[in-house]
Amino acid sequence: MVKNQSISLKNLSVKYPGSTAPQLKQMTAQADSGQIIGIVGNSRSGKTTLCQVLSGVIPTIISAKVSGTYTLNGHSPVDDWPAYNQLTGVVLQNPAGQLSGLADTVADEIAFDLINQGIQEAVITKRVNQAAMQMGLTAQLTQHPESLSGGQLQRLAIASAIATDPQILILDDPTSEMDPVGRQQFFNWLAGVKATTFIVSNEIDDLCEIADLIWVLQDGHLVAQGTPHQVFNHLSANWQLPAPTSFQLAQKMNWRLPTSDFPVNFQELREAIHATN
């Protein structure tokens, strides 16, 4: 994919009706299409609100006053919501709440949006099987969605989102109910995704392994943005974020990269150990 500066937020602010203060405050950021952007921050920092704005849920479905401009892959959810909605796959915090509730099987749930789009049956079958395979749900295709565990429901929500082959993925804490093995499988899969991806997660180590950029939110402000290496080598105590495990270990052992920075992921940790020895 040719990189281009197609993700743009300029002075983005969001204020809910009845609120005394905005939930997002003058956010300005840039990124390239096809990148994975990890969104981190403490509780009530504005992460979910940002996902709802980027997905078009705000202000199309949830009422809020939005100011500033924002485009993703050259498209604006404000200017053309129906077309934009076709480009995005969204997984919000409560996966069960975003399932149709009308499907008798996991396969039917994955196919739900595809059927509504009028896609041919053969294509639907192929996409359902592909999405189920990617999310490890092939054995559950004939089960009722209500029979799934919490982690499997999250996988089902993700499978439903990716079945439409979206250009943009917006994932709000998509692994919160997955076990460690499932979470690792998910992040391994996400590393190979070609869609522009925004992911809110508390899994700092996993984000440092796959994210191209990290956006740090605090009290509605974007207080830092850059590569995982840049952000976590300039971590502020005010952000109330843990440092990556690789960083903490290297700091204790004084393993540094040739730049004198500390590593933030496994590959950098190996480089730092080699440079030290």
pLDDT recorded at residue 76: 87
Q: Indicate if 192 and 264 belong to the same structural domain.
A: no
Same domain, 125 and 221: yes
Which of residues 81 and 271 earns the better pLDDT score?
271
Q: Which amino acid is at 172?
A: D
pLDDT reading at 4 higher than 70 = no
Task: Answer whether residue 191 is part of any domain.
Answer: yes
Structural domain contains residue 27:
yes
Q: Has this prediction a pTM greater than 0.85?
A: yes
Tell me the pLDDT band of 81, cut-offs 50, 70 and 90. Answer: confident
Helix (H), strand (E) at residue 57: helix 57-60
Residue 274 exposed, middle or buried by CB count within 10 Å (0-12, 13-18, 19+): exposed
Note the pLDDT of residue 127.
97
Higher pLDDT, residue 239 or 277 = 239
Per the domain annotation, does 271 fall within a domain?
yes
CATH number, domain containing residue 42:
3.40.50.300
Q: Are residues 257 and 124 in the same domain?
A: no
Where do the DSSP E strands lie in the chain?
7-15, 24-31, 36-41, 65-71, 88-91, 168-172, 196-200, 213-218, 221-226
Start-to-end CA span in the chain (Å): 38
Question: Do 32 and 72 touch, CB atoms closer than 8 A?
Answer: no
pLDDT band with cut points at 50, 70 and 90 for residue 73: confident
Query: CA 176 to CA 174: how far, in whole Å?
Result: 6
Task: Tell me the mean pLDDT in the region 240-259.
Answer: 96
pLDDT tens-place string over residues 135-183: 999 999 999 999 999 999 999 999 999 999 999 999 999 999 999 999 9
Domain annotation covers residue 199: yes
Please check whether residues 269 and 234 belong to one and the same domain.
no
Lowest-confidence region among 94-103, 141-150, 189-198: 94-103
pLDDT band for position 268 (cuts 50, 70, 90): very high
Question: How high is the pLDDT of residue 3?
Answer: 46
Mean pLDDT, residues 12-35 taken together: 96
If asked whether residues 90 and 168 sit together in one domain, one would say yes
Whether residues 109 and 121 share a domain: the answer is yes
What are the backbone angles phi and psi of residue 15, rounded to the nearest 5°?
-135, 125
DSSP three-state, residue 144: coil
Q: Can you name the residues that pair with 197 across neighbouring β-strands?
A: 36, 169
Closest by alpha carbon to 72, among 27, 31, 39? 31
| Residue 247 sits in the same domain as residue 232 | no
Per-residue pLDDT at 83 exceeds 90: no
Per-residue model confidence (pLDDT) at position 186:
97
- With cut-offs at 50, 70 and 90, classify the pLDDT of residue 207: very high
pLDDT of res. 276: 82
150 and 231 part of one domain: yes
Residue 138, pLDDT score: 98
Q: Are strands 88-91 and 65-71 parallel, antiparallel or unpaired?
A: unpaired
Q: Is pLDDT of 5 > 80?
A: no
Residue 171 sits at the vertex; the CA angle it makes with 131 and 2, to the nearest 5 degrees, is 80
75/6 Cα distance (integer angstroms): 9
Query: What is the identity of the amino acid at 9?
Result: L
Are 251 and 138 members of one domain? no
**Opening angle at CA 148, ends 144 and 154, nearest 5:** 115
CA 225 to chain centre: 15
pLDDT band at 103 (very low <50, low <70, confident <90, very high): very high
| Mean pLDDT computed over every residue of the chain | 94
- 2 occurs within a structural domain: no
Q: Which domain holds residue 119?
A: 7-242
Residue 75 within any structural domain of the chain:
yes
pLDDT of residue 25: 97
Q: Are residues 238 and 248 in the same domain?
A: no
Amino acid 101: pLDDT: 86
Q: Band the pLDDT of 92: cuts 50, 70, 90.
A: confident
What distance in Å separates the CA atoms of residue 57 and residue 68, rounded to the nearest whole number?
16
Number of domains in the chain: 2
Quick one: 254 and 176 in the same domain?
Answer: no
Residue 1 falls inside a structural domain = no
Residue 53: which pLDDT band, with cuts at 50, 70 and 90?
Answer: very high
Residue 238 inside a domain? The answer is: yes
Based on the fold, state whether residues 247 and 144 are members of the same structural domain. no
> Does residue 247 carry a pLDDT above 70?
yes
Tokens of 139: 């054995």
